[in-house]
Structure 1
Amino acid sequence: MVADEVRKIIDANNKQFSEGFLKGDASITASIYAGDAVVFPPDAPMIQGRGAIEEFWRTVMASGVKGAELTTLELSGDGDYLHEKGTGILRVHPPGETPAEQRIKFVVVWKHTADGWKNLWDIWNASP
């Protein structure tokens, strides 16, 4: 069972991730990732390292993703690693197009680092 204090930290990290989209600032979104994190975007190569992940999210934001709302369904684990299962909604508004929403499902592995709990592995795909 994950302690309430740790759950609050993960929730705060997810809120910070979403805040980056609202502000259009990929550095805020990327700040929740560990330095050696890996992102597994759908139908694309793995993105490795926080700098590359920040650039990835910057490109995603420029393509029209303006919001990301994440909901944790389960958070479990112990020691220095946790795993999170959740759902989300991406709010997309590409220039000149009608706004839309994309529902997603995700799994994240969190790692306790010297800088606190950081997203180590992040994978998601579309959800009906």
Structure 2
Amino acid sequence: MVTDEVRKAIDANNRRFSEGFLKGDASITASIFAEDAVVFPPDAPMVQGRGAIEEFWRTIMASGVKAVELTTIEISGSGDYRHERGTGIIRVRPPGGTPAGQKIKFVVVWKHTADGWKNIWDIWNASP
């Protein structure tokens, strides 16, 4: 069961994730991840650990990703784990390039930790 409190915490984390892109600050974006989190980027190796995840997002931001808009469709789970399913748009403005948007779909596994709800597994890919 997903309580309002859990939903609010996950929504706040998603806003913080997006805020990092708007500010160009990978440390803000990475702050929602657990220390031992794993990110599964499309067509790339897994990225393990918050430090490596922060560096991953820093590289993505430098490539021209300026905004990420996430929409939660469903949150399920119980105990210390929740599973989020959603969609989003990645807004890209590459240096010297034309702005573009890429639709995505995603699944995130959240874990309740001593520091609150943290993203532990994050996977996404392009969506038509």
Post-superposition CA distance 1:1-50 (Å, at most 9, x none): 20001100000000000000000000000000000000000000000000
Counterpart position of 1:35: 35
Distance in 1, matches of 2:108 and 2:39, equals 9
TM-score by length of structure 2 reads 0.99
Return the letter of the residue paired with 2:40. F
Which residue in the other structure is 1:121 paired with?
Answer: 121
1:86-127 Cα deviation digits (max 9, x unpaired): 000000000001000000000000000110000000000000
After superposition, give the CA deviation of every residue in 1:53-77 in whole Å (9 maximum; x if it has no partner). Answer: 0000000000000000000000010
Q: Distance in 1 between matches of 2:113 and 2:12?
A: 16
What secondary structure sits across from 2:27 in the alignment?
A: helix
The aligned runs of 1:74-113 (5 Å cut-off) are 74-113=74-113
Aligned length: 128
Quick one: distance in 1 between partners of 2:18 and 2:29? 7
CA distance in 2, matches of 1:115, 1:10: 13
* Alpha-carbon distance between aligned partners in 2 of 1:81 and 1:8, rounded to the nearest angstrom: 15
Could you tell me which amino acid in structure 2 is paired with residue 119 of structure 1?
N
Distance in 2 separating the partners of 1:100 and 1:74: 27
Unaligned runs of 5+ in 2: none
C-alpha separation between the residues in 2 aligned to 1:124 and 1:107?
6
Query: How high is the TM-score relative to the length of structure 1?
Result: 0.99
Q: Which runs of 5+ in 1 are unaligned?
A: none
Aligned sequence identity (%): 84
CA–CA distance in structure 2, aligned partners of residues 4 and 33 of structure 1: 21
